[in-house]
């Protein structure tokens, strides 16, 4: 896939990347891709090749570096640049039953 321009919001490429690493997409919402059991999510940034990997504050801290390294290395094959700007927390919104995401960057 080298030397091809990465499209804005490259959902298909990210799904392929996730599958190659053994993860499954559980949900898409706007610029966010939720993965498996919500240990982390991917956020598509303004440039198609830029993707943020954010860990759930409740995820296993000891596994974060390994997962980040896996993504950083494998993403290069797809012309993607992975950054790890911080974490997120899922907070229930009791007023309407939805869930709010709070990013700590």
**Model pLDDT for residues 21-79, shown as the tens digit of each residue:** 999 999 999 999 999 888 999 999 999 999 999 999 999 999 999 999 999 999 999 99
What domains, with CATH codes, occur in the chain? 11-88 (3.30.310)
Residue 79: per-residue pLDDT: 95
On the question of pLDDT at 3 being above 60, the answer is no
The closest alpha carbon to 103, from 43, 45, 48, belongs to: 43
Judged by phi (left if over 0) then psi (alpha if -120 to 50, else beta), residue 30 lies in left
């Amino acid at each position: 896939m080298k030397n091809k321009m990465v499209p804005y919001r490259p959902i298909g490429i990210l799904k392929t990347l996730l599958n190659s690493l053994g993860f499954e997409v559980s949900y898409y919402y706007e610029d966010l891709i939720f993965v498996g059991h919500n240990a982390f999510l991917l956020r598509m940034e303004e440039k198609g090749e830029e993707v943020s990997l954010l860990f759930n504050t409740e995820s296993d801290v000891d596994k974060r570096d390994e997962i980040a390294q896996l993504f950083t290395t494998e993403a290069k094959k797809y012309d993607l640049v992975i950054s790890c700007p911080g974490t997120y927390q899922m907070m229930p919104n009791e007023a309407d039953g939805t869930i709010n995401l709070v990013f700590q960057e």
